[in-house]
Amino acid sequence: MEPVLATLIPKRFRRYRQISRILLRHGFGFLLEQATPCWIPRRRRAAVAPPPAQHLRLALEELGPTFIKLGQVLSTRPDLVPPPFVTELARLQDRVPPFPSQRARHQIEEELGTPLEESFATFEEAPLAAASLSQVHAATLHSGEEVVVKVQRPGIEETVATDLEILRQLAQLAEERLPVAELYDLRGIVEEFAHTLRGEMDFRREGHHAERFRRNFAGKRYLHIPRVYWELTTHRVLTLERIRGLKIDDIAALDAAGLDRHQVALHATEIVMQEVFQDGFFHADTHPGNFFVLPGNVIAAVDFGMVGRLSRSLREQLVGLLTVAVRLDADGLAEHLLRMSLVGQGVDRDGLRRDLERLMQMYAGRPLKEIRAGEIIEEAMPIAFRRRLRLPAELWLLGKMLGMLEGVGTQLDPDFNPFLVARPYASRLLQEAVSPAALAQRAAAALEDWGELLLDLPTAAPTLVSRLHRGDFSLGVELRRTEAPLAVLDTLSLRLALGILVAVGVVVAALFLRLLLVPGTWWSWLIVGIGAAILLTLLVALFWTLRRIE
């Protein structure tokens, strides 16, 4: 254990020094003065004005893979980062040279446990693409199938682990020392980012994402998902079917190939609408380089390391949000956003409504097909940041994906209206939400909760009745006016007693109705009788207490 610590501590210290030098060079010395440990070098820490967003992007690119990924994640969170920085961070690129092919061969052989020649008939030494976490090589199987092999960059896991630990410590120090950090859960943000990054580095998870998309779109001929070769896939190596197609935003190439751009735009929108409203599972790494067009106007998607998930309740809330937005209802939009926000306290509701009203007025009277989601999102970003709306991260990923779809769709077909494609999906989701089956499922869940409460009631009832007789209920009430405190307390006590009686009565009635629907549960009648007896006892205690008050 001691040799391990002896090697890790100096490396972490050197990394701290490197981070400090880079941040100082880009004008972030004022942050280091307040947020770094006392043993970090402080030379050249002149207090300077906050640098422009471009300096932050350049600093993150220089800091390496972990910080590049952090910047890319923050570019999807306009509720955490000011709009100019969001725009600049979206330009972050992995300007990392490829690592030697010999190291890639060694990594593949070590992971697969066999010589490279036994796994692949051919293997191209020059990578097709290189990124901060991995690089991709073309290969051919012995069966003749063309594949791409994604190989994790050697040593990257150790580097990322060190950087994440440093980020955790810096987040903790910032929350303790920087007043502005009180507005954000920095440690929670770092942990969420660490979870996302670790998942992206597990190539098996990316393979499972691809398989799930294949299952969700089974029978849909307009989308092609590359096959995963599991026998040649591990934690650090991913082997996929090679896709040869035209980039979806290469308009000249699409026209030269005789492809129908309107059909391509229609298929792209169908894919997104199914992912969002039907499956709740969408491709979140949204840039045109991950989508290709094959013969027959078929779209092929690649790179499934980053995905988004939408629960059914969140999808239903999203439909409600879109409905009030289309109606230009600023009050309704504010209420929906506040219900969806993770932080409800400290939000200026009136200010939020005013901001949304001004935003809605910008689009009043315009035809629906002329309203661009990308423009709305860009206008909404300052509002979310200024009013401290902490919306779920999935919604911002979804907004980014819709913005990409809209931009590509406009290039493919300027007259294409994605709202016409979205309408049936949204209507179907709303119909399912109010269907008898869905309502019955919710009622059953509520009835089960009431049943559990009833089963706990016999244990709690003696204590409840005893405390009611003694009159020692504790009420957290602050009396700001003391003209008639006794009358106020009497009223509160009466309302509390009536509330308890109503709750018990509802529980007994609910269980009684359930017994009528489920015959043969004779033993449950005993529980109903006990509940009725408790209700009667509470009534007697209430009348006795009221007589004492009189």
Picking from 140, 174, 198, the residue at the C-terminal end of a domain is 198
Does one domain contain both 471 and 404?
A: no
Determine, yes or no, domain membership for 449: yes
Q: Is 197's pLDDT higher than 80?
A: yes
Range of the domain at 483: 437-549
Determine, yes or no, domain membership for 370: yes
The answer to whether 47 and 24 are in contact (CB under 8 A) is no
b/e map 404-431, b = 16+ CB within 10 Å = bbbbbbebbbeebbbeebbeebbeebee
Picking from 382, 415, 434, the residue at the C-terminal end of a domain is 434
- Average the pLDDT over each of 235-244, 347-356, 445-454 and give the range with the smallest value: 445-454
The label of the residue with tokens 């190439």 reads 253
CA proximity to 304, closest of 244, 240, 247, 248: 240
Per-residue pLDDT averaged across 311-323, rounded? 82
pLDDT score, position 6? 45
Picking from 434, 462, 479, the residue at the C-terminal end of a domain is 434
The reply to whether 285 belongs to the active site is: yes
Determine, yes or no, domain membership for 343: yes
The answer to whether 319 and 426 are in contact (CB under 8 A) is yes
Q: How far apart are CA 66 and CA 156, in angstroms?
A: 9
Does one domain contain both 346 and 483?
A: no
The answer to whether 288 and 439 are in contact (CB under 8 A) is no
What's the mean pLDDT when you consider all of the chain?
Answer: 78
Does one domain contain both 441 and 430?
A: no
Determine, yes or no, domain membership for 211: no
Determine, yes or no, domain membership for 119: no
Q: Is 418's pLDDT higher than 80?
A: no
Most confident residue range from 34-43, 213-222, 517-526, 530-539: 213-222
pLDDT score, position 214? 95
- Average the pLDDT over each of 139-153, 243-257, 469-483 and give the range with the smallest value: 469-483
pLDDT score, position 528? 62
The answer to whether 106 and 116 are in contact (CB under 8 A) is no
AA letter at 547: R
Does one domain contain both 331 and 388?
A: yes
Does one domain contain both 445 and 425?
A: no
Over residues 453-500, the pLDDT tens digits come to 666 666 666 666 666 666 555 544 444 444 445 454 555 555 566 556
Does one domain contain both 467 and 430?
A: no
Does one domain contain both 376 and 442?
A: no
- Percent of the chain at pLDDT above 70? 69
Does one domain contain both 396 and 497?
A: no
- Average the pLDDT over each of 32-46, 66-80, 148-162, 332-346 and give the range with the smallest value: 32-46
DSSP element (H, E) containing 38? none
pLDDT score, position 19? 80
Does one domain contain both 308 and 349?
A: yes
Determine, yes or no, domain membership for 147: no
Determine, yes or no, domain membership for 120: no
Per-residue pLDDT averaged across 109-131, rounded? 94
Choose, from 79, 163, 285, 303, the residue flagged as catalytic.
Answer: 285
Bigger pLDDT: 381 or 276? 276
What does residue 239 show for φ and ψ, rounded to 5 degrees?
-115, 120
pLDDT score, position 297? 95
pLDDT score, position 517? 46
- Percent of the chain at pLDDT above 90? 27
Does one domain contain both 406 and 446?
A: no
pLDDT score, position 46? 43
Does one domain contain both 330 and 460?
A: no
pLDDT score, position 99? 92
Q: Could you give the number of structural domains in the chain? A: 3
pLDDT score, position 431? 72
- The count of other CB atoms within 10 Å of the CB of residue 440 is 10
Structure tokens at 549: 């008050």
Does one domain contain both 408 and 479?
A: no
Band the pLDDT of 77: cuts 50, 70, 90: confident
